[in-house]
């Protein structure tokens, strides 16, 4: 048995856990990270792509932005495609100069792991059977196994940053958790393909064949999604069928088509809103997907995880360095407001762009009317743009 002590034991090396660890460690607070997967797996898993303006600025301020600034692609707008036309939403113009960046989540993870290791944060990769104990006491423990060795970490605080399926949220008694869920009757079929970009900016397409999103990763690898049955299986689809579905969704009057290429990865993403408003219990504090999930339409998931890490790091620093309890006492209330903004925007944008099986056809008409308003009214477009580039992090 290997026993250690730390101030903050962080479970999960996703964006929330790694960012929290980096901020704490570089503020002089002893912490460590316990992660189920290997470093190699984390650094190659394809997930999110979009960094909001506040996330970009934060990474730059923290000295985490060098590779992002070099390899990430600035996007000053995006397109809405519907009714055979493409319309540009000019983010810069509508938000007083704000923008987003396409920089893949696994690159963020590489940067955060490297920065943490350089700062001396211990990261226990491939940790099995992670268990949280005594979270309502002042000395909780985290038990796990790595290789053949059992570990026990005694800690002052636990940060549950272990995603939707991790053990942290479950450690809060079910009758103490306030939870909200909305499940959508569709999923996203996502592909990575070897092709040139089809457009300069992201395209969100609404069509009679459903939703599609045309995104990018590098000049030679593109990321695209189309609406699918959430219970479908990627092996049911050939490359030709995938391209046919995507081309139908983006079909437009100018004859413009997607540039096709070899499909090198396929996955199906479930669509749900989920919020556990109880983001703290005793000495356990949840952050990121462990506490909330959004459908990917608004590109908010990673950015909400970053927002939580910012609020939680400030509260922990105040408590540990200055013995000030206030921030930690009100962590859930502080973090949840921005979370609900992201949840509502993602839900709204999903409703705006997807067709739901079995719905009354009147909804498609409403959808089109609203899209028409967004592309013809500056104030409607500005509201969408303001949410899309990201609202400021919560402040005490
Ligand atoms: P993560 O990234 O899920 O990290 C949690 C970590 O915890 C580990 N873990 C455990 N560790 C120890 N013991 C256990 N028992 C554990 N169980 C789990 C996991 O291995 C993992 O490393 O959560 P975090 O940090 O909260 O970050 C959240 C984001 O990853 C997520 O919200 C985004 O990827 C969502 N998302 C998007 N977000 C955006 O902001 N912009 C986007 O464009 C965007 N696109 C997406 C997305 C998510 C997608 N998928 C795959 C659901 C596109 C897709 C396809
Ligand atoms: C992505 O590039 O993976 C991506 C972009 C925008 C979204 C969701 C995912 O809204």
The number of the ligand 2 atom at minimal distance from the alpha carbon of 349 is 10
Specify the pLDDT at position 173: 97
Q: What's residue 307's pLDDT? A: 98
CA of 163 to the centre of ligand 1 (A): 6
264 & 279 share domain:
no
| 124 & 40 share domain | yes
For residue 384, how far is its CA from the centre of ligand 1 (angstroms)? 24
User: Is 103 one of the catalytic residues?
Assistant: no
Specify whether 19 is located in the same domain as 134: yes
Residues 174 and 156 in one domain: yes
Of 269, 290, 322, which residue is a domain's last? 269
Task: Give me the pLDDT at residue 396, please.
Answer: 65
CATH number at residue 228: 3.30.9.10
Question: Minimum-distance ligand to the CA of 308?
Answer: 1
74 to 113, 148, 198, 370: CA distances (angstroms): 23, 45, 16, 27
pLDDT given at position 395: 81
Q: Considering its fold, how many domains does the chain have in total?
A: 2
| 388 assigned to active site | yes
The CA dihedral of 370, 372, 374, 379, to the nearest 10 degrees, is -100
> Looking at the structure, do residues 112 and 232 belong to the same domain, yes or no?
no
- Whether residues 302 and 246 fall in one domain: no
Mean pLDDT in residue range 292-305? 97
Q: Is residue 366 part of a domain?
A: no
Does 92 have pLDDT greater than 90?
yes
Domain carrying residue 256? 187-269
Tens-place pLDDT, residues 336-354? 999 999 999 999 999 999 9
- Catalytic residue at 225? no
Average pLDDT over residues 197-206: 97
pLDDT at 207 over 80: yes
Are residue 231 and residue 136 in the same domain, yes or no? no
Neighbours of 117 (CB within 10 A): 12
- Kindly report the pTM of this predicted structure: 0.97
The ligand 1 atom at the shortest distance from the C-alpha of residue 290 is 26
CB of 49 shorter than 6 A to ligand 2: yes
Catalytic annotation on 300? Answer: yes
The ligand 2 atom at the shortest distance from the C-alpha of residue 215 is: 2
In a domain, 67, yes or no: no
Question: Are 228 and 216 found together in one domain?
Answer: yes
Predicted pLDDT of residue 253: 86
Q: CATH code at 159?
A: 3.50.50.60
Question: Using H for helix, E for strand and C for coil, what is the string for 35-97?
Answer: CCCCHHHHCCCCCCCEECHHHHHHHHHCCCCHHHHHHCEEECEEEEEECCEEEEEEHHHHCCC
Distance (Å, whole) CA 84 – CA 297: 21
Instruction: Give per-residue pLDDT as tens, 146-156.
Output: 999 999 999 99
Environment class of 272 (CB within 10 Å of its CB; exposed 0-12, middle 13-18, buried 19+): middle
Asked whether 190 lines ligand 2 (CB < 6 A), one says no
Distance from the alpha carbon of residue 338 to the mean position of ligand 1, in angstroms: 18
């Amino acid at each position: 048995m290997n026993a250690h002590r730390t101030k903050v034991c962080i479970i999960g090396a996703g964006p929330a856990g790694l960012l929290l660890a980096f901020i704490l460690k570089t503020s002089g607070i002893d912490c460590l990270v316990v992660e189920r997967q290997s470093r190699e797996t984390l650094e190659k898993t394809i997930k999110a792509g979009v960094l909001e303006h506040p996330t970009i600025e934060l990474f730059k301020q923290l000295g985490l932005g060098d590779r992002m600034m070099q390899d990430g692609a600035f996007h000053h707008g995006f397109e809405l495609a519907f009714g055979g036309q493409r319309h540009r939403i000019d983010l810069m113009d509508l938000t007083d100069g704000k923008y987003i960046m396409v920089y893949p989540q696994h690159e963020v993870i590489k940067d955060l792991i490297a920065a943490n290791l350089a700062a001396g944060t211990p990261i226990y990769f491939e940790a099995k059977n992670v268990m949280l104990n005594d979270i309502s006491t002042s000395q909780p423990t985290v038990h796990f196994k790595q290789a053949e060795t059992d570990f026990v970490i005694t800690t002052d605080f636990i940060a549950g940053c272990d995603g939707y399926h991790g053990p942290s949220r479950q450690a809060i008694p079910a009758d103490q958790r306030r939870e909200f869920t909305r499940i959508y009757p569709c999923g996203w079929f996502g592909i990575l393909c070897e092709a040139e970009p089809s457009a300069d900016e992201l395209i969100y397409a609404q069509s009679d064949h459903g939703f599609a999103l045309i995104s990018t990763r590098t000049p030679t690898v593109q990321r695209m999604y189309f609406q699918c049955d959430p219970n479908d299986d990627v092996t049911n689809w050939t490359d030709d069928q995938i391209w046919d579905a995507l081309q139908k969704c983006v079909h437009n009057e100018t004859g413009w088509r997607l540039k096709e290429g070899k499909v090198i990865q396929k996955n199906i993403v479930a669509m749900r809103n989920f919020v556990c408003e109880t983001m703290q219990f005793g000495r356990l504090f949840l952050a990121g997907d462990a506490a909330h999930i959004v459908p990917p339409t608004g590109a908010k998931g990673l950015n909400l995880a970053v927002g939580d890490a910012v609020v939680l790091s400030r509260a922990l620093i105040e408590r540990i360095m200055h013995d000030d309890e206030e921030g930690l006492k009100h962590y859930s209330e502080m973090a949840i407001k921005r979370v609900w903004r992201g949840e509502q925007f993602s839900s709204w944008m999903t409703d705006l762009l997807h067709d739901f099986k079995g719905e009354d056809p009147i909804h498609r008409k409403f959808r089109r009317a609203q899209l028409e308003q967004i592309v013809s009214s500056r104030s409607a477009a500005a509201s969408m743009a303001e949410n899309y580039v990201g609202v400021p992090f919560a402040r005490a």
